[in-house]
Amino acid sequence: MKLNSLAIFRGQWLTFPHSEPNHSEILTWMGKHADRMAKLSEKFLEIYQNHRQKVAAIENETLASIVALLDEIQGASEAATSQTPETQASAPTRGVTVTPRTDRKIEVIRADITTLELDAIVNPASRSLQGGGGIEGAIFAAGGPALVAECRALGGLERGEAKITHGHDLPAKYVIHTVGPVWKGGDQGEPELLAECYRNCLDLAIANQVRTIAFPAISTGNFGYPLPDAAKVAAGETLKFAQKHARIDKIYLVCWDDAAFEAFSAALNATG
């Protein structure tokens, strides 16, 4: 359509009696074709604006992906320079049977957190909230594009903070996102930041009428938090919260392997 419109204008221009029309002839010609020129100008403007919007959308998506990758790399780098992690987390395997550890209000289980049909599961997120590897990547993949889109609107997270979204394609109704601390030896405020993750997630759960919730082992993957220390914080904070709030029916501490299962079970038994 653009080429045809240009051809029409070029054809009209060539109908002048001589090759260089004077000022009067140009004004007369423009008057006859004012409507057509206005419509063509609007069309060109629409094409230009659509092009700018598409370019902007591509740039935003690319930038978000880069930010998410850099955030994940930074976390892994900070953990590696402070110590060698005792255990590296991997994405949970789908289909693992949920096996309760105790009959108490808090249970340690080994399961794929993305398959749990609960009111809420917790995502150990990157600060950009744009997805990454490990458990966060598995949650975003299972939640689908709608979860990714809702997270983009949240504007990221600070360490210790928590925000909530719908579960979308996940069996869980909600996903509560939180960013744990990077382990730097334990004397840089890591325990308090990790405790804030659990407290803020549970506060959001109560505010949204969540009665069943599952936590992964926050910060024990690329962020390098040692399993025994992380388990102690998780068990202590969830137990204190459960004792104060009757509206929470069940809190699951979800583990991906035997080492995590044993560490969190031992911490819960020692605390409770």
Q: Is the pLDDT confidence value at 11 over 50? A: no
Of all residues in the chain, what percent carry a pLDDT higher than 90?
57
Single-letter amino acid code for the residue at 90: S
How many other C-beta atoms lie within 10 A of the C-beta of residue 41?
Answer: 10
Residue range 80-132, pLDDT digits in tens: 444 433 333 333 334 444 444 444 799 999 999 999 999 999 999 999 998 77
What pLDDT, on the 0 to 100 scale, is given for residue 22?
Answer: 67
- Asked which of 56-70, 97-111, 126-140, 163-177 is least confident by mean pLDDT, the reply is 56-70
Which residues pair with residue 165 across a beta bridge? Answer: 175
Read off the pLDDT of each residue in 193-211 and give the average, rounded to a whole number: 98
What pLDDT, on the 0 to 100 scale, is given for residue 81?
Answer: 45
From 270, 259, 164, 172, select the one nearest 220 (Cα to Cα). 259
From 249, 267, 145, 167, select the one nearest 202 (Cα to Cα). 249
Single-letter amino acid code for the residue at 175: V
At residue 263, the 3 state secondary structure works out as helix
Domains, the chain: 82-271 (3.40.220.10)
What pLDDT, on the 0 to 100 scale, is given for residue 208?
Answer: 98
Q: Is the pLDDT confidence value at 194 over 60? A: yes
pTM: 0.66
Cα atoms in the 13 Å half-sphere on the side-chain side of 174? 23
Mean pLDDT of the chain: 80
Residue range 134-157, pLDDT digits in tens: 999 999 999 999 999 999 999 999
